[in-house]
């Protein structure tokens, strides 16, 4: 094989690896039951506004009155921003209701996004999470 073909092959392989790596990095939502969304209400304990997904942490009373700490994965900051959100849209101490796809294994985690994902405040304000 001549040097030009060798270099061209190397560049092609390196390019494929570089550009396909980010495609493989994103995950699906197979851990969540998107067919049976639920709605929970509680107090926001933390919001992490960062890529790749905004995280919302919420203390929720279960049916026995015990506090359960939920971790909710949401859309990216860009998608939420296009829906009218900003870093201070939800703050620690806010009382919210959130619709989410719960974990299939019963853990207090879920994904809130797409057409069913939304946050409702006690004053009736609604923040949606549609992909636009």
Instruction: Give bridge partners of residue 46 from the DSSP assignment.
Output: 57
| Fold annotation for 38-128 | OB fold (Dihydrolipoamide Acetyltransferase, E2P) (2.40.50)
pLDDT reading at 32 higher than 50: yes
| pLDDT score, position 116 | 82
| pLDDT score, position 22 | 46
pLDDT in tens, 41-96: 999 999 999 999 999 999 999 999 999 999 999 999 999 999 999 999 999 999 99
Mean pLDDT, the chain, rounded, equals 85
* Domain spans, the chain: 38-128
Q: How far apart (Å, rounded) are the C-alpha atoms in residues 105 and 100? A: 15
Residue 85: how many CA atoms within 13 Å on its side-chain side?
A: 26
Instruction: Give bridge partners of residue 90 from the DSSP assignment.
Output: none
Q: How far apart (Å, rounded) are the C-alpha atoms in residues 101 and 25? A: 22
Specify the DSSP class assigned to residue 51.
S
Token couple for 97: 């209701």
**Phi/psi-derived region of residue 33, left when phi > 0, alpha when psi is between -120 and 50, beta in every other case:** beta
Token couple for 76: 């990216």
pLDDT > 70 fraction of the chain, expressed in percent and rounded: 78
């Amino acid at each position: 094989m001549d040097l030009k073909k060798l270099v061209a092959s190397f560049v092609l392989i390196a390019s494929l690896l570089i550009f396909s790596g980010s495609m493989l990095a994103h995950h699906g939502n197979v851990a969540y039951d998107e067919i049976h969304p639920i709605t929970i209400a509680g107090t926001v304990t933390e919001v992490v506004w960062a890529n790749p997904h905004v995280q919302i942490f919420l203390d929720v009373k279960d049916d026995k009155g015990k506090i359960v700490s939920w971790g909710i994965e949401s859309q990216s900051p860009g998608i939420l921003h296009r829906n009218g959100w900003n870093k201070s849209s939800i703050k620690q101490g806010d009382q919210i209701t959130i619709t989410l796809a719960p974990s299939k294994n019963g853990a207090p985690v879920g994904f809130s996004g797409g057409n069913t994902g939304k946050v409702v405040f006690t004053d009736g304000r609604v923040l949606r999470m549609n992909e636009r």
